[in-house]
Amino acid sequence: MSTTDIQPPNAMHRGVDRPNWFARAETWLDERGKGAWIAAMVLGFIAFWPVGLALLAYMIWSKQMFSKNCTARSTRSSFRTATRSSGNSAFDAYKTETLRRLEDEQRSFEEFLERLREAKDKAEFDQFMNDRARKADAGTDDAAASQA
Protein backbone atom coordinates (compact mmCIF):
# COMPACT_ATOMS: atom_id res chain seq x y z
CA MET A 1 0.00 0.00 0.00
CA SER A 2 1.48 3.33 -1.02
CA THR A 3 0.69 6.83 0.13
CA THR A 4 -1.18 7.50 -3.12
CA ASP A 5 -3.69 4.76 -2.26
CA ILE A 6 -4.72 6.51 0.92
CA GLN A 7 -7.44 9.07 0.33
CA PRO A 8 -9.43 11.14 2.79
CA PRO A 9 -12.99 9.97 3.43
CA ASN A 10 -15.50 11.09 0.81
CA ALA A 11 -12.74 12.33 -1.49
CA MET A 12 -14.01 10.33 -4.44
CA HIS A 13 -17.72 10.79 -3.75
CA ARG A 14 -17.74 14.41 -2.75
CA GLY A 15 -20.44 15.24 -5.34
CA VAL A 16 -22.63 12.31 -4.29
CA ASP A 17 -22.46 12.56 -0.51
CA ARG A 18 -22.48 16.32 -0.34
CA PRO A 19 -24.26 18.06 -3.20
CA ASN A 20 -22.85 21.27 -4.58
CA TRP A 21 -24.08 24.64 -3.37
CA PHE A 22 -26.55 24.93 -6.24
CA ALA A 23 -28.25 21.61 -5.39
CA ARG A 24 -28.36 22.53 -1.70
CA ALA A 25 -29.88 25.92 -2.53
CA GLU A 26 -32.44 24.31 -4.84
CA THR A 27 -33.42 21.80 -2.15
CA TRP A 28 -33.67 24.57 0.45
CA LEU A 29 -35.95 26.64 -1.82
CA ASP A 30 -38.05 23.59 -2.74
CA GLU A 31 -38.67 22.85 0.92
CA ARG A 32 -40.04 26.36 1.41
CA GLY A 33 -42.27 26.35 -1.67
CA LYS A 34 -43.01 28.68 -4.56
CA GLY A 35 -42.94 31.79 -2.40
CA ALA A 36 -39.26 31.25 -1.66
CA TRP A 37 -38.50 30.81 -5.35
CA ILE A 38 -40.35 34.00 -6.22
CA ALA A 39 -38.64 35.92 -3.41
CA ALA A 40 -35.24 34.67 -4.59
CA MET A 41 -36.07 35.76 -8.14
CA VAL A 42 -37.20 39.23 -7.01
CA LEU A 43 -34.08 39.65 -4.87
CA GLY A 44 -32.03 38.51 -7.85
CA PHE A 45 -33.61 41.20 -10.02
CA ILE A 46 -32.98 43.82 -7.33
CA ALA A 47 -29.36 42.83 -6.71
CA PHE A 48 -28.27 42.16 -10.30
CA TRP A 49 -30.88 41.75 -13.02
CA PRO A 50 -29.17 38.87 -14.89
CA VAL A 51 -29.38 36.77 -11.69
CA GLY A 52 -33.13 37.36 -11.47
CA LEU A 53 -33.51 36.60 -15.16
CA ALA A 54 -31.49 33.39 -14.76
CA LEU A 55 -33.67 32.31 -11.83
CA LEU A 56 -36.82 33.05 -13.81
CA ALA A 57 -35.54 31.03 -16.76
CA TYR A 58 -34.58 28.16 -14.47
CA MET A 59 -37.98 28.17 -12.76
CA ILE A 60 -39.76 28.04 -16.12
CA TRP A 61 -37.37 25.46 -17.57
CA SER A 62 -37.61 23.15 -14.54
CA LYS A 63 -41.37 23.72 -14.27
CA GLN A 64 -40.97 24.98 -10.68
CA MET A 65 -43.30 27.86 -11.36
CA PHE A 66 -46.21 25.88 -12.73
CA SER A 67 -46.05 22.59 -10.86
CA LYS A 68 -48.27 21.70 -7.94
CA ASN A 69 -45.67 19.62 -6.18
CA CYS A 70 -45.81 21.66 -3.01
CA THR A 71 -49.52 21.10 -2.45
CA ALA A 72 -49.42 17.49 -3.61
CA ARG A 73 -46.50 16.74 -1.30
CA SER A 74 -48.22 18.26 1.73
CA THR A 75 -51.49 16.48 0.93
CA ARG A 76 -49.74 13.12 0.70
CA SER A 77 -47.91 13.59 3.97
CA SER A 78 -51.06 14.70 5.80
CA PHE A 79 -52.97 11.70 4.41
CA ARG A 80 -50.19 9.38 5.59
CA THR A 81 -50.35 10.95 9.04
CA ALA A 82 -54.15 10.77 9.15
CA THR A 83 -54.29 7.06 8.32
CA ARG A 84 -51.65 6.01 10.83
CA SER A 85 -52.90 4.26 13.97
CA SER A 86 -52.56 6.11 17.27
CA GLY A 87 -52.82 2.98 19.41
CA ASN A 88 -56.11 4.09 20.96
CA SER A 89 -58.85 2.03 19.30
CA ALA A 90 -61.69 4.38 20.33
CA PHE A 91 -59.89 7.38 18.90
CA ASP A 92 -58.96 5.45 15.74
CA ALA A 93 -62.62 4.49 15.22
CA TYR A 94 -63.70 8.11 15.72
CA LYS A 95 -60.99 9.33 13.35
CA THR A 96 -61.97 6.76 10.71
CA GLU A 97 -65.64 7.74 10.95
CA THR A 98 -64.81 11.44 10.80
CA LEU A 99 -62.58 10.98 7.76
CA ARG A 100 -65.29 8.93 6.03
CA ARG A 101 -67.88 11.61 6.80
CA LEU A 102 -65.57 14.36 5.50
CA GLU A 103 -64.91 12.40 2.31
CA ASP A 104 -68.68 11.97 1.80
CA GLU A 105 -69.22 15.70 2.36
CA GLN A 106 -66.42 16.54 -0.05
CA ARG A 107 -67.86 14.20 -2.69
CA SER A 108 -71.37 15.66 -2.30
CA PHE A 109 -69.98 19.21 -2.45
CA GLU A 110 -68.06 18.40 -5.64
CA GLU A 111 -71.26 16.92 -7.12
CA PHE A 112 -73.12 20.11 -6.13
CA LEU A 113 -70.46 22.24 -7.82
CA GLU A 114 -70.71 20.10 -10.95
CA ARG A 115 -74.52 20.54 -11.02
CA LEU A 116 -74.04 24.28 -10.49
CA ARG A 117 -71.58 24.48 -13.40
CA GLU A 118 -73.96 22.52 -15.63
CA ALA A 119 -76.87 24.81 -14.71
CA LYS A 120 -74.75 27.88 -15.43
CA ASP A 121 -73.62 26.42 -18.76
CA LYS A 122 -77.23 25.62 -19.68
CA ALA A 123 -78.38 29.14 -18.74
CA GLU A 124 -75.59 30.69 -20.83
CA PHE A 125 -76.41 28.45 -23.77
CA ASP A 126 -80.13 29.26 -23.52
CA GLN A 127 -79.28 32.97 -23.40
CA PHE A 128 -77.08 32.58 -26.48
CA MET A 129 -79.84 30.75 -28.38
CA ASN A 130 -82.44 33.39 -27.39
CA ASP A 131 -80.13 36.21 -28.53
CA ARG A 132 -79.46 34.39 -31.78
CA ALA A 133 -83.18 33.84 -32.40
CA ARG A 134 -83.93 37.48 -31.57
CA LYS A 135 -81.26 38.68 -34.04
CA ALA A 136 -82.60 36.34 -36.70
CA ASP A 137 -86.15 37.65 -36.13
CA ALA A 138 -84.90 41.25 -36.26
CA GLY A 139 -83.07 40.48 -39.52
CA THR A 140 -86.19 39.05 -41.16
CA ASP A 141 -88.31 41.97 -39.89
CA ASP A 142 -85.81 44.47 -41.36
CA ALA A 143 -85.78 42.57 -44.67
CA ALA A 144 -89.61 42.51 -44.77
CA ALA A 145 -89.83 46.23 -43.96
CA SER A 146 -87.35 47.16 -46.68
CA GLN A 147 -89.31 45.16 -49.29
CA ALA A 148 -92.61 46.80 -48.39
Cut 0.75: pTM above it: no
In 1-148, alpha helices (H): 14-17, 21-32, 34-47, 49-61, 69-83, 89-147
pLDDT digits (tens, 9 = 90+) for 14-66: 445 567 887 888 888 888 888 888 898 899 899 988 888 888 888 888 865 66
Q: What pLDDT is stored for residue 36 in this prediction?
A: 87
pLDDT digits (tens, 9 = 90+) for 132-143: 999 888 877 666
Q: What pLDDT is stored for residue 14 in this prediction?
A: 47
DSSP annotation string for 49-90? HHHHHHHHHHHHHTTTTT--HHHHHHHHHHHHHHHS--S-HH
